[in-house]
Structure 1
Amino acid sequence: MVEIAIKMLGVAKDAAGRVRETITIPECADVYEAIRTLIDIHGQPLKDVLLDPVTETPLATLILLNGIEIGNLQGLETPLYHNDTLVLLSVTHGG
């Protein structure tokens, strides 16, 4: 098992009720598994702001791993290691 830190900004922070969270995930877990673990901890309000209801992926969320946007790595399949830090900034906009 490895521990990673997660920093939530924007409406993700509001939904979780906190800015920072440390979670324990299995070795070889990826970004998507970490997000699912975080949702398991904080429930439906966080799921609603992080995941697209159709695709169940964080389409409207900027995700950084150790300061690098995950699209520049392996996306949601980017492996995580002990003491990594994820930043989640859920993007919302009005219409």
Structure 2
Amino acid sequence: MTTIFKKIIDKEIPAEIVYEDDQCLAFKDIHPKAPVHLLVIPKKEIVSLAHLSEGDGPLVGHCLVALSRIAAEQGLADGYKVAVNCGEAGGQEVPHLHFHLLGTPATK
């Protein structure tokens, strides 16, 4: 089964992509729960945190470093929340590992 996230990675369906590199991409959540609500996903298809292997550590680390840079670019210098749902019982709706980046940009 091809997930909606794989279709976004393959550019088969549109998304408001705010960041992309060779290993991950970030796009706006279509049902935002905060002024900034982005999803950061690895391009490698990994179902969930429970499906990570030892070899996935560098990829997950890369995604989190990218997430940190994206947060700064989005004006979240004062702080932000990162959430990961794991499995259907854990609230995961799309079976592709993803990190929710939520926050409110700082006002000057």
- Fold in common (TM above 0.5): no
TM-score by length of 2: 0.31
